[in-house]
Amino acid sequence: MTETSSRLLDKIASPADLRKLSVSELPDLAAEIRKEIIRVVSKTGGHLGSSLGVVELTIALHYVFNTPDDRLIWDVGHQAYAHKLLTGRREKFERLRCEGGLSGFPKRSESPFDAFGAGHSSTSVSAAVGMAAARDILGRKNNVVAVIGDGSMSAGMAFEALNNAGDKNTRMVVVLNDNDMSIAPPVGALSHHLSQIISSKQYMTLRQAAIDMAEKLPQFVKTAALRVGQHAKGLITGGTMFEELGLYYVGPIDGHNFEQLIPILTNVRDAPEDYPIVVHVLTQKGHGYTPAEKQPSKFHGVSAFDIDTGEMLPKKNSKPSYTGVFSDMICDLAAQDPKVAAITAAMPSGTGLDVFAERFPNRFFDVGIAEQHAVTFAAGLACEGIKPYVALYSSFLQRAYDQILHDVALQSLPVRFAIDRAGFVGEDGATHNGVFDLAMLCPMPNMVVMAPSDQAELRSMLLTMNGINDRPSAVRYPRGSGPLSDLPDVVEPLEIGKGRIVREGNRVALLSIGTRLKACLDAADILSLNGVSATVADARFAKPFDENLLLELIEGHQSISVVEEGVEGGFGALILTWLANHGLLEKTKIRFITVPDRFIEQASAERQAEIARIDARSIAQKVLETVR
């Protein structure tokens, strides 16, 4: 990369300092910010391509609007790295996504410039409508600006919010960051010229005068006149959809050109009337860094990498990842069974389904950022005899709670859920930790819920799911590599609801679900050093759980500790209820070791487990407390 100084960025402690610069200085500032983002993310990892794509747009927004009084709301918050650098967090940026450092996403407790927290997508317009309504109630005059990526526009929530915004006819701005030119053709001189005209005060005033005149016409004439006007403008600019929803459309404009961004955003800011405006901005993911421009998907979320080559630095752990094992196994199942189909919500690479998509394109479905639709779509497939596997991150699965319960479980449809990133996810922090899925799924009737302790178990569970044809099933597995270096050649299905004893002891028992098994075995070693013999069992199934195994542990041990990498209300809650209903609570000491009732912020996944006190040392300490 070309070396640049930070003479401008060094002067900026807040957007107020930014507004002291001339427009001619802004391209140099953009280059400095881009260099700083690349430098830091090459060390910490993070979401690179999206943030590089909005550098100029971020500068322009803070330059034109009076933030933080004017509310700036970021959708898909990983676009906000430049925003953090411009809003007083330069010194802390070095520890982006690190324990005690900056969150990788906007966070209200981190800065008054973060108007709304955003770790997931498609929320910005809804929040903006709410903020605009609150402003009107309170009699304020500030602007409310939502920046939403076009990928986020595939979620129904975004359309619900746009529809509400058009209906309320309140003053707000929606900036559509179109970073792959999927909605409109490339911007050109004519498009820019038209956008500047239609965003001008004179045009808007004339438009309002025409609307006022149309109000005096008979209803059928008025409706026809307004519709003709909207379509005429839409044919020129591409904004018919937004105009139909009742939003004033401006664009598309070049999101990397300050000569377009500044005057058009200024016109929008100074619009004479109170109505919602959409500004359609074309940007390039990874802009200004050649490796990211050439491979935007690869550089969407990155680990540490070499700046000069763009190559990811080798990871210490070369053991197979759970996502990779899922990817291979789902392809094997599809090769053997023509009814196997796979669905994801804009995460083909993250879930490992990109390989499936290449091999079985007719049976792969990426529905966009639309988890609710993904689940009910899968239910429709299941109704017709297809075997759908829905692969989602645990924290994204939360968005489809109602669809899983009502459209799948209630009808006992054999939809199979592959839940990636279950448990702690590390540097993405509280917004992405997958610690709620067990508590969400375990109470659902007709649901089989599994969690593997290693990669081989995951393969067996996926095979087991393929044979479950009378009800829904789910398997949750973590991010990253598992404990096994080599996997067995033969994959065998599991007996549903059957756990196993992994280590024999005679005084206390540890019952683990999922990948906490390794921590339980290590805890057993610590207990042994303290003179306490421990049995370690792997539940495998959270629902239905192995009642006979539980009874065996009760009969032969002084205490039982149930360990799960999830919040209260999941696996342990099922066991507690069962014991109470069978009058067995008085027969044993039982303790539930779960994630505490608070959000765990960003750190390494291992450190998050320590903070949550579900690591081996903490487990051993808690077990010792039950026997003393």
Active centre residues (catalytic):
285, 371, 399
| β-strand partners of 503 | 536
Dmax over CA atoms of the chain, in Å, equals 91
Per the listing, tokens 């081989």 go with 456
Distance CA 300, CA 371 (A): 20
Quickly list H helices, 467-587: 517-529, 547-556, 571-581
Distance CA 65, CA 315 (A): 43
Do 348 and 326 form a contact (C-beta atoms < 8 A)? no
Buried/exposed code over 41-64 (b: 16+ C-beta within 10 A; e: otherwise) = bbebbbbbbbbbbbbbbbbbbbbb
Which run of H or E residues covers position 254? strand 248-254
Distance CA 623, CA 590 (A): 10
Q: At what angle do helices 156-168 and 124-138 cross, to 10 degrees?
A: 30
Distance CA 321, CA 174 (A): 39
Please name which of 27, 427, 438 lies closest in space to residue 261, comparing C-alpha atoms: 27
CA distances from 449 to 78, 113, 399, 424, 539 (A): 31, 41, 18, 18, 11
Distance CA 275, CA 74 (A): 20
For the four alpha carbons of 302, 356, 424 and 614, in that order, the dihedral sign comes to: negative
Please name which of 290, 285, 609, 277 lies closest in space to residue 424, comparing C-alpha atoms: 609
Provide the strand spans (E) within 351-484: 364-366, 387-393, 416-420, 448-450, 473-476
φ and ψ at residue 49, rounded to 5 degrees: -60, -45
Quickly list H helices, 360-516: 371-383, 394-397, 401-402, 437-441, 455-466
